[in-house]
C-alpha cells in the first residue's frame, strides 16, 4: 500500500482564471466595529489613487486601532455587496488558523498601496 494519497485535481484552475483576479496591496487608513455584530469591521483602505470601504469578518482577531497603517492583500475586482447597510467594495484576504482565527495576509516589506500582486 502506497503512503501517497491520490491528488484531487477537481479544483484546479487555468492560469487565465487566476489572471482574472485583481489582487492588490492596500493600506488600512481607518477601521471601526460595525454595531450589533461580533466579528465585522468596516475598513477604509487606500489602493494608491483610490480609497475603498471593505467589510471584513476579523473583529474577534483584531482590534480596529491595531490595523491602522497595516498593509494587507485585497481582492479588488470583487463585485460590490451591501453588508449591514455598508457597501463593501472588495475583500481583504486572510489565512484561517487551526482554531478558525483569521490571520491577515500582509507584506513583509513596505510596498506602495495599489501595487499589483502576481
Set of cell numbers at residue 14: 487555468
Percent of the chain topping pLDDT 90: 86
Q: Calculate the average pLDDT of the chain.
A: 93
SS3 string, the chain, reads: CCCCCCCCCCCCCCHHHHHCCCEEEEEEEEEEECCCCCCCEEEEEECCCCEEEEEECCCCCCCHHHHCCCEEEEECCCCCEEECCEEECCEECEEECCCCCEEECCCCCCCCCCCECC
pLDDT for the residue 10: 79
Taking only the tens of pLDDT, the chain with its 118 residues reads: 445 556 677 789 999 999 999 999 999 999 999 999 999 999 999 999 999 999 999 999 999 999 999 999 999 999 999 999 999 999 999 999 998 999 999 999 999 999 999 8
Q: pLDDT tens digit string along 7-28?
A: 677 789 999 999 999 999 999 9
Q: How confident is the model at residue 6, as a pLDDT?
A: 62
Amino acid at each position: 500500500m502506497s503512503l501517497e494519497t491520490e491528488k484531487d485535481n477537481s479544483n484546479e484552475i487555468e492560469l487565465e482564471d487566476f489572471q482574472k483576479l485583481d489582487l492588490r496591496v492596500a493600506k488600512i487608513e481607518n477601521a471601526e466595529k460595525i454595531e450589533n455584530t461580533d466579528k465585522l469591521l468596516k475598513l477604509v483602505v487606500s489602493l494608491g489613487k483610490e480609497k475603498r470601504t471593505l467589510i471584513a469578518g476579523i473583529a474577534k482577531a483584531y482590534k480596529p486601532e491595531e490595523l491602522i497603517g497595516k498593509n494587507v492583500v485585497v481582492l479588488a475586482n470583487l463585485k460590490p455587496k451591501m453588508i449591514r447597510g455598508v457597501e463593501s467594495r472588495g475583500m481583504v484576504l486572510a489565512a484561517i488558523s487551526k482554531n478558525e482565527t483569521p490571520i491577515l495576509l500582509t507584506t513583509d516589506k513596505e510596498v506602495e498601496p495599489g501595487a499589483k500582486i502576481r
